Structure 1
């Protein structure tokens, strides 16, 4: 009697254990249209500061990736092979004076056709903070200085005028500077751009005659018109209620946007036409605090730096992206 009881208990425990196991090993299929088939392309070592923060796709389909705390820029092949391109000099104190975070980190990234890279650096140091230029095979050079109080983040190049636009997340300013370098000028500033706790303006893109920026703390996507004389028009809120909207990318020529919601651990498809949004990727798909993304053809690349997800490995996730028109 007692033996069969013990056996039954063991058996039910084993079944419960198997059920729990099958729950954990089933492939998570949380990806929602238009995203599908997510998989991890690269996993990083958080301990060595390799937290992927920003990305551009090169014409030959490789990724140029900024690793935030290690202040490195590397190339990642479509198959996940990594190659170091450059390292920025680190502040001796680790960047303790970097506003909001207290550690130095490399941030925004722009690439020109000749392979030259422009990298934002929030270093908490007057001699390091700003925009750095890295020519192919060359040494990094700071060409646009910013003060210790600045937190340069998202960046975009207006190829027509040769000007860089730079989101300064702690000072609530969009800077503008010639890509050749020099002192930047404040192009736009004010309440729309300011932080309300940690970081304000963050991701930045040029699109259809306007500068678009996310405000991380305010959870908003803003469109700032470029007026005929090149100055900033009034900011227009195109979507709100987007928890910790970090970086974003336009879907083709449309105004639709794919955005990373960092602390929410989601990627959302945002429709500025009516301000609506839907979640297309989550932590179940492998996101670990997504910071930025790139869309090339029907491939979506999402970088997770795991700043806010303590138990996660930073990674690059890739997924298929089915382009459709939103009506």
Structure 2
């Protein structure tokens, strides 16, 4: 990653954190998670883990943002690069908000097929990609080069992918074999200075998303395929990035605030992990049973991108 672009990301995250700090209900005191750093990554090689998906055997699949890669991390910590996307001719400097081309959201299907997003500032390459097991990536849906496709979720009931654009403030839908269409551009998705809607999940007839700048967790009911009114389920989540569900709770990564929090059904947050546990600007969370897998991209710290494995405290 070019140093000036890295600095631009850090400045944006820091500013957004200041904008959202102190809003909404304060974090509650509670038992922390028991955590360990499972794998360190190479900052110089652009191995900044942006998003994560889990396989049943415990293998983690991540996007390495600045390396433009998709990789797997085996249970023994072995990293295998599965795909590297070509840099755009301009090196990615026209990628909105960030100034470098990057791989972002990732989803893994039961047959091992991986879907992921690439934001390059280039109309010929920005979009949703499919990576079959043992194959090569191909773009299955174009997305606006003027935006920043960031979060990716799959509604397994309908086969619809939902894609957040953190610059344009939209959620797009990609149906099987179809093109991307804007599904929602509600004002609650918009940025207030740096990045808007970010992480996303599909669950129980609704789409959930976080707004990075506003520090909000949102729920949008899906009604006959169309979005219902946006519900703000929690606020005060400074610089929220991606998140995962643990029962009825949400485990969220606060990238600029350098925390991982649990958000209950009433919107109250409890801090689970901090820098003392090894966090280096957490970007995403995956949960299986009582274990959370947390990726840290070190966008601000510029020190130690890593993967943390944490045992969640029982409620």
TM-score normalised by structure 2 residue count: 0.88
Kindly indicate whether residue 267 of structure 2 is the aligned counterpart of residue 275 of structure 1: yes
Q: What is the number of residues matched between the two proteins?
A: 287
Matched, 1:289 2:281: yes
The SS at the match of 1:60 is coil
Q: Which whole-Å deviations, capped at 9, do the CAs of 1:174-208 have from their partners, x for residues lacking one?
A: 0001243x421111112100111111110000112
> What residue is the counterpart of 2:13 in the other structure?
none
- C-alpha separation between the residues in 2 aligned to 1:92 and 1:292? 29
Q: Which residues of 2 match residues 144-155 of structure 1 at below 5 A?
A: 144-155=141-152
Other-structure match for 1:162:
159
Long gaps (5+) in structure 1: 1-30
Equivalent residue runs for 1:1-327 within 5 Å: 33=31, 35-36=33-34, 38-180=35-177, 182-227=178-223, 229-252=224-247, 254=248, 256-271=249-264, 273-310=265-302, 312-324=303-315
Listed as ranges, the gaps of 5+ residues in structure 2 are 1-28
Shift of residue 127, structure 1, vs aligned partner? 0.6
Partners of 2:103 and 2:119 within 8 A in 1: yes
Deviations along 1:130-172, whole A, 9 cap, x unmatched? 1111111111101110121121111111122111111111101
Question: What SS class does the counterpart of residue 247 from structure 1 fall into?
Answer: strand
> Which secondary structure does the structure 1 equivalent of 2:77 belong to?
coil
Q: CA deviation at 1:314?
A: 0.5
> How far is the alpha carbon of 1:32 from its aligned partner?
5.9
Corresponding residue SS for 2:193: coil
Q: Could you tell me how far apart the structure 1 residues matched to 2:301 and 2:168 are? A: 26
Q: How far apart are the structure 2 equivalents of 1:165 and 1:287? A: 28
Q: How many Å separate the matches in 2 of 1:230 and 1:142?
A: 24
The root-mean-square deviation of aligned C-alpha atoms, in Å, is 1.4
Identify the residue that residue 28 of structure 1 maps to in structure 2. Answer: none
Q: 1:41·1:79 contact (CA, 8 Å) conserved in 2?
A: no
TM-score (ref. length: structure 1): 0.85
In 2, the alpha carbon distance for the partners of 1:142 and 1:323 equals 41
8 Å CA contact retained: 1:34, 1:323:
no
Q: Residue 226 of structure 1: SS of its match in structure 2? A: strand
Once residues 306 and 176 of structure 2 are traced to their aligned partners in structure 1, the CA distance between those partners, rounded to angstroms, is: 30
Task: State how far apart, in whole Å, the 2-side matches of 1:92 and 1:313 are.
Answer: 29
1:10 corresponds to:
none
Deviation of 1:268 (Å): 0.5
Are the aligned partners of 1:124 and 1:148 in contact in 2 as well (CA < 8 Å)? yes
Contact 2:32 2:271 in 1 (8 A): no
